[in-house]
Amino acid sequence: MKKYDSINGLRTLACIGIILMHVKSNMNFQFGNYLDIIINSFTQFVFLFMVISAFSMCCGYYEKIKNNNMKLEEFYKKRIMKIWPIFTILVLLDVIVEHNKNSILEGYADITMMFGFIPKKLEVIGVGWFIGLIFIFYMIFPFFVFLFSNKKRAWIVTLNSLVMNLVGITYFDLHRENMFYSLLFFCVGGMIYLYRNEIIKIVKNKKNIIVFICIICIIGYYIIPNNNIIIEMLKVVLINFILLSIAIGIDDSKILDNKITKFISNISLEIYLCHMVIYRIVEKTLINNWKENSFVKYFIVCCIVICGTILVAQLLKKVCNKLIVKEKRNV
């Protein structure tokens, strides 16, 4: 299967953007201008992660499962070992720090990896709700492959997921932590995979036009009023579709694919999971003792959190890889 290395740039963008947004949000820092709107909007990068995750899963496993070239047991073992060790380590650390009844019960739910079915956002590893959704997607992926093995059926499923999203928002008051709400983004990733050859051809032939359209869509996201969440959601779907389409169509971009983006992309999951842990440490040691709430303070905190998160993420990656290797040897 062809590698789409420019996706590394999107993962890096999403990681850094989410960190900038969370730091600003937790510091209650306000720029007082358009920067507030822009950085606050970086919360939408989590949907880009969903689209990329679905596309990457299809690249790695769609054909194997469709053609019965991989046992389901092997598939599930690989996916569980991808996320369970790192997530469990962070959950246990959080439970040890909090050491109360709620953290123990929520930590237990987290470790089972089944917490995505709980209609409540858990406080232990607050950003972990994304892992709950990803695990549900892993569980249903063989069925997802069946649904998307026929393009007509794939369109029906994707359009239905859009309706599910809109109904979930307007009637059931659901949020992104719920698969009923977020399935749409996994379907978008699947559709990009199905039509990847056509998309690549269009992007290569009309690269400048596609990039221009992407820029216009991003500007439009901020200019067009978000009168309701439905309009905002449709804008997010369109932008994510275009971003990933550009990434798979432009395979020689040094901006999207370089040593830095490859490095960060390789530990993007670990960065996402542990960046708030690093922020809390910085908060207790630096922020609480620095009363002035200035741009300089925000900038310094962001730099410390990003660098600290990357170091810890890399360490966790190495530890988990060693555990996985040891487990394979024992088996």
pLDDT greater than 70 at residue 153: yes
Give the pLDDT confidence score for residue 102 in this predicted structure.
86
Among 313, 254, 266, which residue's Cα sits nearest to residue 11? Answer: 266
> How do residues 72-121 score in pLDDT, each as one tens digit?
999 999 999 888 888 888 888 888 877 788 888 988 988 998 888 887 77
Give the pLDDT confidence score for residue 325 in this predicted structure.
63
- DSSP secondary structure letters along 233-296: HHHHHHHHHHHHHHHHH----TTTSSHHHHHHHHTHHHHHHHHHHHHHHHHHHTGGG-----HH
Residue 137 banded pLDDT, cuts 50, 70, 90 = very high
> How do residues 181-204 score in pLDDT, each as one tens digit?
999 999 999 999 999 999 999 999
Which letter, b or e, does each residue of 179-207 get, where b requires 16 or more Cβ atoms within 10 Å of its Cβ? bebbbbbbbbbbbbbbebeebbeebeeee
Domain limits of the chain?
7-330
> How do residues 201-248 score in pLDDT, each as one tens digit?
999 999 899 999 999 999 988 888 777 777 888 899 999 999 999 999
> How do residues 20-42 score in pLDDT, each as one tens digit?
999 999 888 888 778 888 999 99
Quote the pTM value.
0.92
